[in-house]
Structure 1
Amino acid sequence: MTVTPRRPGDPKPEPLGLLLAHRAMLRDLNRVTALVAGHSRFAPKRAAAVAGYIDDLCDSIHHHHSAEDDILWPVLEESAGPHVDLTELTDDHAVLDPKLHRVRAGAAALRATGEVPAALAADMADIRDTLHEHIADEERTIVPLIREYMSVADWATVEEGVRGRGAKMSFEAPRVIAVATPEETQVMLAEGGLPLRLMVKVMPVMFRRRERRVFGTA
């Protein structure tokens, strides 16, 4: 991709979608880790619901970090040039998939038996801690570079490319809506138009029922 250099005085992109995705991810990592650490077994229907939620969370994390590797990082490197060094963040991404694989294996065992494997609680805590540290590093180092060196047009192209990778919107959208402030929601609605307005009305209602099955007593 050929970037459009951001010139002094040009408007700065605001990576709100990236920040909200991080916020939703960390919220889920915290509460899923607490859930599996606090139970030794679940009834069959709830075990299936919890395992399914963990699978979707793993898919979401993989989608997010692979989109950064494949779409965001190349544009940022070309835009920021010598001001950016992504080596450490890319190395962090490389260790995520083996961790996700272990979590998925634990979820499969939970679904099959109803019992929470001890390894699942440990692996969830591991990936939670890894991503808390990684995301803090990313937001401290990368977000300022996006705002300073990327053009609004290039950021829009990055976001379009990420959306085109086929994330599961019935999982992603309600979680992002749940962590957004009213002001952030208004920004998203203004940018997303009618499709997002429909998502805001319909998806959270359906998703809350799923959350009750996973995190509640249903």
Structure 2
Amino acid sequence: MDNEPSGLLLAHRAMLRDLDRCAALTAGLAASGTRLDRKRAGAIAGYLSDFCDSIHHHHSAEDEVLWPVLERAAGAHVDLTELTDDHAVLDPKLARIRAGAAALKSGHTVTPALAADLADLRDTLREHIADEERTIVPLIKKYVSDEEWNRVEAVIRRHGAKMSFEVPRILAVSTESELAEARREGGLPVALMIKLMPLPFRRREAKVFGAVR
């Protein structure tokens, strides 16, 4: 079968990028004790909240959509217990970050606790994603048909993702060859999406990070 789960890998790439830059941003602001103005505090808090929702959507979609397909296709060749246990650990971590983001919005200061929680989430997900790509991606490529994988990706897209947040982040980590392939497959509508969707998101990023990175 040897299909390439590019959507999954791009989602991981975007997640790792944001984990690094959100952890670095909050660590710097917490260390400096900077009191932010209302707009910047709200922008950072809103971004962190959307990022937590994105991570929750990703692992919930894996649990509810991808894992059952993979278990049916690969049978005894797959054991998802450890990865599912990792997902269960994530929700309390995300809840702490959401609470820290709410406190930032009202108090205009990044606390050391919020910075520490983001660093912890970054380290946890780095390890989890490495394990997932090492163990799960080869099984998808070997046992899940192209047709079934396309169906999985379509269901996941309808699973509650906030596309105005997800798509620009995916595009930002896509290579030129990946973008060219998307344009070839999607035609003019996808070409327009690639050109236009990132524009408002870059303005949002500038409010959060100070510059687009």
For the superposition of Structure 1 and Structure 2, which TM-score range results when normalised by the shorter chain?
over 0.9
Distance 1:191 1:63 in 2: 26
| TM superposition shift of 1:188 | 2.5
Which residue does the alignment assign to 1:3?
none
Which residue does the alignment assign to 1:203?
197
| TM superposition shift of 1:199 | 1.7
Unaligned runs of 5+ in 1: 1-10
- Aligned partner of 2:111 among 110, 117, 120: 117
Amino acid at match of 2:27: A
Which residue does the alignment assign to 1:14?
4
Amino acid at match of 1:61: I
1:73 corresponds to 2:63: no
Which residue does the alignment assign to 1:95?
89
1:141 corresponds to 2:135: yes
| TM superposition shift of 1:55 | 0.5
Describe the superposition over 1:171-195 as per-residue Cα deviations: whole angstroms up to 9, x where unpaired: 1001000001011112223334444
1:42 corresponds to 2:36: yes
Distance 1:105 1:88 in 2: 27
Aligned length: 208
1:162 corresponds to 2:156: yes
Which residue does the alignment assign to 2:102?
108
Describe the superposition over 1:106-161 as per-residue Cα deviations: whole angstroms up to 9, x where unpaired: 00000001011221001000111000000000000000000011101110110011
Distance 1:195 1:52 in 2: 29
In terms of mean alpha carbon deviation, does 122-131 or 185-194 score higher? 185-194
- Aligned partner of 1:184 among 175, 178, 184: 178
Amino acid at match of 1:180: S
Amino acid at match of 1:34: A
Amino acid at match of 1:201: K
- Aligned partner of 1:213 among 203, 207, 210: 207
Distance 2:71 2:118 in 1: 32
TM-score by length of 1: 0.92
Distance 1:42 1:175 in 2: 25
Distance 1:192 1:28 in 2: 26
Amino acid at match of 1:56: D
TM-score by length of 2: 0.94
Distance 1:103 1:166 in 2: 20
- Find the residue that maps to 1:38 and give its secondary structure: helix
- Aligned partner of 2:166 among 146, 164, 172: 172
- Aligned partner of 2:46 among 36, 44, 52: 52
CA RMSD for the aligned pairs?
A: 1.4
Identity %: 67
